[in-house]
Structure 1
Amino acid sequence: MNAKLKWLHSPDIYNLENYQPECADSFCFLLQAMIGPEGEEGEESFDIEVCTPKWIEKNLGLDEALVGRHYLIVRDYNYQKIVHSIEKFLQGCSGKDWNEVSRKVLRLGLWEFEGYEDGSV
């Protein structure tokens, strides 16, 4: 089974394809990648912070550290490059079932079911 990007959404940006940030090389926004099994119905949300190195530099205090999990760092905003980067990452996310695949995908973004336990023993 392989992971497939089904669609992208951002609660911060109305139209991702035509978006132009105020500052082309310094921005950060939440991107929700809807990813599911290739060739099958359904998808689950993986939250990714898309930002630039300049945004990190500007917003990281001198005495702070930034943990980079669930960040996609880009030089500027290019929707097609972001899509391509996510799809390229997903090429390495395969497994015997969706549970195994999704555990690999969660390195990219915060999985909506991360930490969820169904109560079964």
Structure 2
Amino acid sequence: MKIPVIRAFDDVDHDPIKDWIPEDPYDIDICIRFSIGPSDEMGIDYFDGHFITKNYEEEYASYLQPRYFLIERYSLPVILEMVTLFIETCSRPDWEQTAQAIGKRLSWEYEGYHSSN
């Protein structure tokens, strides 16, 4: 089984994300890029996670993509725990299957890619 782990994360709008404090933690729309790879290998793939608060969801519901995580308020430790718990449920026999399972909630960089071979 390939057990996925978060190796790194960032957000281009809030760099460094670890130091960012929003004006209103209850009105958030943020995308975080996660570097996730199998625990027994060095490689990673990129997955983008979309996190919004209830206030934001109510105001912009008609514009939202269907794949997002709803959070009560912005808290990076809570987001990291949420994603860690989710990806732990995605272990599969090989990395491609694992990445596809993760891609059900996080946008995978290779989503929809088909090899020409």
Segments of structure 1 that go 5 or more residues without pairing to the other structure are: none
Match of 1:118 in 2: 115
Amino acid at match of 2:5: K
Secondary structure at the counterpart of residue 17 of structure 1:
helix
Q: Report how far residue 39 of structure 1 moved.
A: 2.4
Match of 2:49 in 1: 48
* Aligned equivalents of 1:65, 1:24: Cα separation in 2: 20
Match of 1:37 in 2: 38
Amino acid at match of 2:25: A
Match of 1:99 in 2: 96
- The Cα RMSD (Å) is 1.4
Segments of structure 2 that go 5 or more residues without pairing to the other structure are: none
Any conservation in 2 of the 1:46–1:108 contact (CA below 8 Å)?
no
Match of 2:78 in 1: 81
* Aligned equivalents of 1:117, 1:8: Cα separation in 2: 26
* Aligned equivalents of 1:65, 1:19: Cα separation in 2: 25
1:56-91 CA-to-partner distances (Å, cap 9, x unmatched) read: 11223xxx374431x121111111111111110011
* Residues 101, 46 of structure 1: alpha-carbon distance in 2 compared, 3 angstrom cutoff: same
Question: How high is the sequence identity, in percent, across the aligned residues?
Answer: 23
Match of 2:105 in 1: 108
Runs of at least 4 residues of structure 1 off by over 3 A? 64-67
Match of 1:24 in 2: 25
Q: TM-score, normalised by structure 2?
A: 0.91
* Aligned equivalents of 1:3, 1:109: Cα separation in 2: 13
Secondary structure at the counterpart of residue 84 of structure 1:
helix
